[in-house]
Amino acid sequence: DSKLTEKNINEALKKAYDKYKGLKEGANADYIPALDKVDSNIFGIVLVTVDGKVYSVGDITSEVSIQSISKVFTMALVTEEKGINALPDNVGVDATGQVFNSIYAIEQNKGHEMNPLVNAGAITTTSMVAGKSYNEIWNKILDYYGEFAGRKLTVLEDIYQSEAATNQRNQAIAHLMYAYGHIEGDPLQATDIYTRQCSVGVNAKDLAVMASTLANAGTNPVTGKSLVKAADVPEILAVMSTAGLYDDAGKWLYKTGLPAKSGVGGGIIAISPGKFGIAAISPPLDAAGNSVRAQKAIADISAALGGNPYEVQ
């Protein structure tokens, strides 16, 4: 790929970093009290090509909570365990047009016709991970995320405690999904494991390696390990395209063409299939709940490198 040279990549990263470093728009999420205390100045961008080369600029060591970006990887886990139809059959693959923790979206179709990347679908997805005990399920999820990142990940305990103490809305969502017959097992256990998965600490490099695995047909290009069947990756990317940035998914796709996923911790991952995975972290969010600087930086870098999959080179 002619645009994807080392020089171009480094230049694009540096240019975007310098351009948005001083941008002060947006605000940390504060509905989870501990997120409000995270340093708003953290800003790092990492791009990993499908041949496993890592390019970075800014802060690539500070960890934030992965939050909703985790939903993609639990979706991948359930898809691998239960087959490609399990999630479409149970929660659907449609955008809700509502906020990520919408209860109205559940009521519209009794918990069908949503997707694994909004809270109701995601908590249900977590409930579908096979395992006999809480610990067996949780360890499997955490280990699987670690395989994507290429290193062992851990929970940011203060974030977990803070969200677990204030996640009554997610508990209500889980109970509703249970009442409509979507959740397997105990809805409160599913909510708690979901809360824990959202509290996993990641830096910008972890997220970019995770993204690059999806860009590379499900094989981590850094470790060489296959984590998702190549045939299952397009469906995961499709849901990221329609629902990855919540209610702004359409605007994002229009601008970049990239399947992506944001989290309220300030991270965003995006995938240029067959080319690269990219991630940026910056905690301040816009009104839709997406990191302001991460969106702008990724959009600029991808445009400079011909990342839009709809664009014929």
CA pseudo-torsion sign 142, 143, 147, 149: positive
For ligand GLN, the closer of residues 102 and 219 by Cβ is: 102
Least distance to ligand GLN, CB of residue 183, Å:
15
Q: Does 49 bind ligand GLN (CB under 6 A)?
A: no
DSSP letters of the chain? Answer: -TT--HHHHHHHHHHHHHHHTT---SB---SSGGGGGS-TT--EEEEEETT--EEEEE--S--EE-GGGHHHHHHHHHHHHH-TTHHHHHT-S---SS-TT-SHHHHHTTT-S--TTSHHHHHHHHHTS--SSHHHHHHHHHHHHHHHHTS---B-HHHHHHHHTT-HHHHHHHHHHHHTT---S-HHHHHHHHHHHHTBEE-HHHHHHHHHHHHTTTB-TTT--B-S-GGGHHHHHHHHHHHTTGGGHHHHHHHH---EEE-TTSEEEEEETTTEEEEEE---B-TTS-BHHHHHHHHHHHHHTT--TTS--
The residue sitting closest to ligand GLN, measured at its beta carbon, is 68
Looking at residues 202 to 261 of the shown chain, list those that interact with ligand GLN (rule: CB under 6 A): none
Least distance to ligand GLN, CB of residue 4, Å:
30
Q: Does 119 bind ligand GLN (CB under 6 A)?
A: yes
170 is in an annotated binding site: yes
Q: Does 100 bind ligand GLN (CB under 6 A)?
A: yes
Note whether 235 and 79 are within 8 A (CB).
yes
Looking at residues 23 to 42 of the shown chain, list those that interact with ligand GLN (rule: CB under 6 A): none
Which of 28, 56, 62, 67 is the binder for ligand GLN (CB under 6 A)? 67
119 is in an annotated binding site: yes
For ligand GLN, the closer of residues 121 and 263 by Cβ is: 263
Which of 28, 49, 56, 68 is the binder for ligand GLN (CB under 6 A)? 68
Least distance to ligand GLN, CB of residue 179, Å:
19
Least distance to ligand GLN, CB of residue 263, Å:
4
x/- map, 168-187, ligand GLN, by CB under 6 A: --x-----------------
Least distance to ligand GLN, CB of residue 217, Å:
26
246 is in an annotated binding site: yes
264 is in an annotated binding site: yes
Note whether 106 and 177 are within 8 A (CB).
yes
Looking at residues 124 to 163 of the shown chain, list those that interact with ligand GLN (rule: CB under 6 A): 163
- Centre a 10 Å sphere on the Cβ of residue 41 and count the other Cβ atoms it contains: 12
68 is in an annotated binding site: yes
The residues with which 278 forms a beta bridge, in sequence order, are 47, 270
- Centre a 10 Å sphere on the Cβ of residue 165 and count the other Cβ atoms it contains: 12
Q: Does 272 bind ligand GLN (CB under 6 A)?
A: no
290 is in an annotated binding site: no
Least distance to ligand GLN, CB of residue 119, Å:
5
- Which tokens hold the place of 235? 């469906």
Least distance to ligand GLN, CB of residue 123, Å:
8
Q: Does 289 bind ligand GLN (CB under 6 A)?
A: yes
Binding site for ligand GLN (CB under 6 A): 67-68, 100-101, 119, 163, 170, 198, 263-264, 289
Which residues belong to the annotated binding site for substrate? 68, 119, 163, 170, 194, 246, 264
